[in-house]
Amino acid sequence: MAKTNDGLDAARRHKAAVESAKTRTADFTTLSGERVDSLYTPSDIADVDYERDLGVPGEYPFTRGPYPNMYRGRMWTMRQFSGFGTAHESNQRYKYLLSQGGTGLSVAFDLPTLMGLDPDDERAEGEVGRCGVSIASLRDMETLFDGIDLGSISTSMTINGPAAIIWAFYIAAAEKQGTQRQKLRGTLQNDILKEYIAQKEFIYPPSPSMRLVVDTIEFATREMPLFHPVSISGYHIREAGSTAVQELAFTLADGFGYVEASLARGLDIDEFAPRLSFFFNAHSDFFEEICKYRAARRIWARHMREHYGAKHENSWRLRFHTQTAGCSLTAQQPENNIVRVALQALSGVLGGTQSLHTNAMDETLALPTDKAAKIALRTQQVIAHETGVTNVVDPLGGSYFVEAMTTRMEQQAEEYFRKIEGLGGVVAATEAGFQQREIGRAAYRYQKELEARQKIMVGVNECIEPEEDVAIPLLKIDMSTERHCRAAVADVRRGRDSKRVERCLRELKDAARGETNLMPTLLECAHAYVTVGEAAAAMVDVFGAYREPAVF
Amino acid sequence: MSETERIRVLVAKPGLDGHDRGARVVANALRDAGMEVIYAGLQQSPQMVVNAAIQEDVDVVALSILSGAHMTLFPRVLQLLREQGAGDILVTGGGIMSADDMAELQRQGTGRLFGPGTSLQEAIGYIRAEVEQRRAQRG
């Protein structure tokens, strides 16, 4: 047999060799259940054209990275998501994180705020300040950033249903500090589609929610050139149990949904597309994750240029934030989570992330303690400064396996796009529960694989320590936070001009009934100390509230 | 009530937390284990949970709470069930709870509570054994 360089011969020899070799009884699939071969050769990437499919970093289709010299030019932003209790308590934590070398803030809100409820709403009972900070009005936002110059930091805010209201509080707080809105840098999550699909923190039905998202995109495009109004998020889709391909496909499909809604508003694609950014999960299957990020960049670039006709490079360039997978952490032997997080973070860096949050080891049990949060940040600093992985751009590019898997994930995502299109587009597919069912099935399948020990979690179904006493300190949030926040919002209501508040809320409802952009009205509300609950309720009066059908 | 009667379980997400992966996986597993599962879904107030439990005549209320509100929501459900004369319904569940919190809730009258990493078989086995025991006690 003649030896060739296309790898076919090598692949044949390998196949023959492993047929007679001993093979362990184990599951040789990815975390998402995708079969992988034991060896990849040039024959697996015969269809990959270097210039067409890879190119150089910073150039279309950006497979190898969004910027030419990547981390040599700029290190990723070490952005630790945090927030708890009162605005004052979170303000202290932010000052601490900034003093420890953190380079951006990322605000976690509590559930009442995320659902557009004031802390003294009866539905908020027991939830105030628990999984994030309680922000009821501009007053809390002023306290949250007291002593922090909003003109000199960038702030990411994880808020979706009431994103436009909270953004108005933020802009108003900056204006009261003397910083013009044009100078503000940061990101709103504001990805409502993934709320219906995965995280389930929605207020209004999909259609008015999409209008609010486009209002923020339009407002940012006109008035806030440094702000990213939407962070299109796969993180929560993955946490809800999706596979890597589902995370990739459903997230990018949501992105296309926002692009189409903005185009329908009459916005110019090259004016708004550069301000869309992404947020992905970093789960435990090292190579699958790296390929996911590479595939995401290529898919976005191709669709933006070929399908939507964007002309500018910045519209094709996908940039993303990464957070390590909360759902991969174990309550058992929690210190092991430090290792999981380090490996996941490394996959995000090798995949070319622009910013990174590393989870703390104690987060399956409670919000992180200061110590656990610091170790998580140090993990990023070790990767950045000690491992050498920042020296070379896309160091795994050209790996037969990595390129083959990147291409396969792109193809699998394209199949999902066709299915979603066939259901009438992403909003219709979401309303029909398509993505929710796909994710639910994947989550249940994975849990059954764990039960059958086809998939292993160390400390959970292997390497178990039955008598383990989990003795790590946990952060406790007592009921005094809730009492404090209730009293504070009552105080705000007493101290403001109630006539102005009534007028603002009336104008908000009128604007919601019409078609004008709601941001200017919401800014008026913010400056009048209208609360998040009042503003959200006014819009519910017009838009209605959404309840999803209870299916499992 | 005969011992062979299918166990009826209400699975619900009380409070504001939307993270329903665990609740839906458990609902599927209980159904596949032969139980009758009523899934109430999201944003259920304690009163809604208790009303559904009584209306559906369930043996078990299984609550999933990942938001940290468990010390408010579990006691409220227990209290409302007792007030409505349905204190014999087993209240169990899971979520992000410290061992101290779980112990306190069990002292107040919940059944076992489960944290991350619990196997489905363990939860199924517990519910089956506990319901059989309670049925036997009732005679």
What band does A1 get if pLDDT is binned at 50, 70 and 90?
Answer: very low
List CB contacts (< 8 A) between A440 and chain B: 24, 28
DSSP annotation of B49 = H
List CB contacts (< 8 A) between A161 and chain B: none
The 10s digit of each residue's pLDDT in A525-543 is: 999 999 999 999 999 999 9
Residue A377: C-alpha distances to residues A79, A284, A360, A361, B134 (Å): 9, 18, 9, 11, 49
Q: Do B21 and A240 touch (CB under 8 A)?
A: yes
Beta strands in A118-265 (DSSP E): 154-158, 185-188, 227-228, 230-233
Comparing C-alpha atoms, which of A199, A169, A174, A197 is closest to residue A185?
A174
Beta strands in A253-348 (DSSP E): 276-282, 320-324
Q: Do B15 and A551 touch (CB under 8 A)?
A: no
Q: Do B115 and A365 touch (CB under 8 A)?
A: yes
Interface test with chain B among A122, A127, A158, by most B beta carbons within 10 Å: A127
Interface test with chain B among A463, A551, A552, by most B beta carbons within 10 Å: A552
The 10s digit of each residue's pLDDT in A271-303 is: 999 999 999 999 999 999 999 999 999 999 999
Please indicate whether residue A269 or residue B96 has the higher confidence score (pLDDT). A269
> Which pLDDT does position A7 carry in this prediction?
86
**For residues A73 and A67, what is the distance between their CA atoms, to the nearest angstrom?**
8
Q: At A77, give phi and psi (nearest 5°).
A: -80, 125
List CB contacts (< 8 A) between B24 and chain A: 440, 443-444, 552
Q: Do A240 and B96 touch (CB under 8 A)?
A: no
Q: Do B18 and A474 touch (CB under 8 A)?
A: no
List CB contacts (< 8 A) between B11 and chain A: 552
Sign of CA dihedral A444, A446, A452, A458: negative
Q: Select the residue of A364, A443, A548 nearest B116 (Cβ to Cβ).
A: A364
The 10s digit of each residue's pLDDT in A77-109 is: 888 788 888 999 999 989 987 887 766 788 999
Could you tell me how many CB contacts below 8 A there are between chain A and chain B? 110
Q: Select the residue of A126, A327, A459 nearest B72 (Cβ to Cβ).
A: A126
Q: Which pair of structure tokens corresponds to residue B65?
A: 């709470």
In this prediction, residues A44-59 reach a mean pLDDT of 97
Our measurement of the distance from residue A329's CA atom to the centroid of its chain's CA atoms, rounded to an integer in Å, reads 17
Judged by a CB distance cut-off of 8 A, whether residue A549 touches chain B is yes
Query: Is it the case that residue A133 has pLDDT exceeding 80?
Result: yes
Mean pLDDT by 10 residues, chain B (139 residues): 78 95 96 97 95 97 94 97 96 94 97 94 97 89
Judged by a CB distance cut-off of 8 A, whether residue A454 touches chain B is no
Q: B78-113 burial, b if ≥16 CB within 10 A, otherwise e?
A: bebbeeeeeeebbbbbbbbbbeebbebbeeeebbbb
Judged by a CB distance cut-off of 8 A, whether residue A471 touches chain B is no
Say whether A458 sits in a helix, a strand or coil: strand
Length of chain B: 139
How are beta strands A185-188 and A230-233 bridged, if at all? unpaired
Comparing C-alpha atoms, which of A239, A289, A285 is closest to residue A442?
A239
The 10s digit of each residue's pLDDT in A337-358 is: 999 999 999 999 999 999 999 9
List CB contacts (< 8 A) between B15 and chain A: 111, 126-127
Q: Which pair of structure tokens corresponds to residue A426?
A: 């992403």
> Which pLDDT does position A245 carry in this prediction?
98
> Which pLDDT does position A369 carry in this prediction?
87
The 10s digit of each residue's pLDDT in A151-177 is: 988 899 999 999 999 999 999 999 999
Q: Which pair of structure tokens corresponds to residue A288?
A: 């699958």
Q: A316-337 burial, b if ≥16 CB within 10 A, otherwise e?
A: bbbbbbbbbbbbbbbbbbbebb
- CA of A284 to nearest chain B CA: how many angstroms apart? 16
Q: Which pair of structure tokens corresponds to residue A55?
A: 């190119």
Q: Do A200 and B71 touch (CB under 8 A)?
A: no
Length of chain A: 552
Interface of A with B in 350-409 (CB under 8 A): 364-367
What band does A3 get if pLDDT is binned at 50, 70 and 90?
Answer: low
Model confidence pTM above 0.90: yes
- CA of A487 to nearest chain B CA: how many angstroms apart? 19
Query: Is it the case that residue A124 has pLDDT exceeding 80?
Result: yes
Q: In what order do the strands lie in the sheet with A320-324?
A: A227-228, A185-188, A154-158, A104-108, A77-82, A355-357, A320-324, A276-282, A230-233
List CB contacts (< 8 A) between B116 and chain A: 329-331, 364
> Which pLDDT does position A4 carry in this prediction?
63
Query: Is it the case that residue A76 has pLDDT exceeding 80?
Result: yes
Interface test with chain A among B24, B56, B120, by most A beta carbons within 10 Å: B24
Q: Do B116 and A331 touch (CB under 8 A)?
A: yes
List CB contacts (< 8 A) between A550 and chain B: 39-42
**For residues A283 and A235, what is the distance between their CA atoms, to the nearest angstrom?**
10
The mean pLDDT of chain A is 95
> Which pLDDT does position B138 carry in this prediction?
81
- CA of A210 to nearest chain B CA: how many angstroms apart? 20
Judged by a CB distance cut-off of 8 A, whether residue B69 touches chain A is yes
> Which pLDDT does position A131 carry in this prediction?
86
